[in-house]
Structure 1
């Protein structure tokens, strides 16, 4: 193809325009600074997201109070019946505070030495609590007949998900550092047997013995679990035909 051909000239213009667009985008992103060595600090990102979640939760709580006040002022018979049904389901859904005999499990990272460092020659991943460790305990306690559960200071419901970023626990928009504490109301003896039978818990205990991670199980005579304070998201709905 000749360099003077129309197709070559059009292609050259297109390449120049694309290069200019990329350079403009890079400059806008970097604010005029060098972007080659920029890195993202995940802990800062998570903390910022957590602050935004806390602000949104406070705003949502205020709006919910306004809705409840309006809803209680003048209800049609249909709405009153629906609210009565919903109130009857609030306890099993985790929307009411509960208390009773419980089992409390605490998981923590291995201890650092006097210099603040982990022992030399050991993979750091072997010395911290991971997402699957917390999830194994949670699953075992549910399987052992837990009636209600709390991780750290938050009530666990069907939509709760355990996530870890490094050795930081992310639960329902909030972040926590170890030790991670799980409290479940129910038959403590039965839940302990379920923990003993859970393969994930058994694997974690091998790391406890080898690298001195923390794993404590304590019965609690009367634990108080708060109501779930987050949003209940509607995922599907249908209208019944009359």
Structure 2
């Protein structure tokens, strides 16, 4: 019965991953950018709904397992693994960081425009510092971040697991607040960003919260890797 439970959950998880990753061309050949972004966002939302439906089925299987004394240990183990993998909701005290582009008035003659916008490496610097400081769960723009999450910068837009976002960017982290605060204050990359905040008026706000809620990761859990041709 325990094997059946694991197989059932694994099958549903694989189906959820397929629902969020099935065959989309990530490099469109042309067309209006706004229309392409709108179309991609709609398709992501549709796949997200499919994944949410499958996730509810997984939860139903685990709930049923909790009511069966013979497989309690397996169900508890599965739930603990889901927590570690970021597949369940996290709640607790933490830190919220908001990053934003500089105001239009900062774009004076002689200033490189690249100095006035939040870049991919800036977001990664803050996220990495929070992890290093003891974060147990981290989200960006409300999306749970896990080890396979890709943060990609395309022009002035950041794409997280296929979904485009514009500033301001909000990073939330649940965990050891003193540790995360210390890590932010000592990270060379974060300190460098703060210099640009002072000189070019980039936006940065760090807040402490007693009660943050970060939802589960809902993207694909399947990995793609290169294979030799022969």
TM-score tier after normalising by the smaller chain length? 0.7 to 0.9
Can you give the 5+ residue segments of structure 1 that lack an aligned partner in the other structure? 1-37, 237-242
Match of 1:135 among 124, 141, 154: 124
- Structure with greater helix share of residues: 2
1:29 match:
none
Give the structure-1-normalised TM-score.
Answer: 0.69
CA offsets 1:2-59 (integer angstroms, 9 cap, x no match): xxxxxxxxxxxxxxxxxxxxxxxxxxxxxxxxxxxx9765554344322222112222
Q: 1:140 to 1:67 in 2, by over 3 A?
A: closer
Q: Considering only aligned residues, what root-mean-square deviation do their CA atoms show, in Å?
A: 3.1
Can you give the 5+ residue segments of structure 2 that lack an aligned partner in the other structure? 1-28, 226-230
The separation in 2 between residues aligned to 1:73 and 1:102, in whole angstroms, is 33
Match of 1:62 among 46, 53, 61: 53
1:172 match:
161
C-alpha contact 1:148 1:186 (8 A) present in aligned 2: yes
CA offsets 1:180-207 (integer angstroms, 9 cap, x no match): 1111112222211111211111111111
The separation in 1 between residues aligned to 2:204 and 2:220, in whole angstroms, is 32
The separation in 1 between residues aligned to 2:209 and 2:42, in whole angstroms, is 32
The separation in 2 between residues aligned to 1:146 and 1:162, in whole angstroms, is 18
Give the structure-2-normalised TM-score.
Answer: 0.72
The separation in 2 between residues aligned to 1:151 and 1:94, in whole angstroms, is 13
The separation in 1 between residues aligned to 2:117 and 2:217, in whole angstroms, is 28
SS at match of 1:91: helix
How many pairs are equivalent?
195
Return the index of the structure with the highest Cα Rg.
1
Is 1:94 the counterpart of 2:83? The answer is no
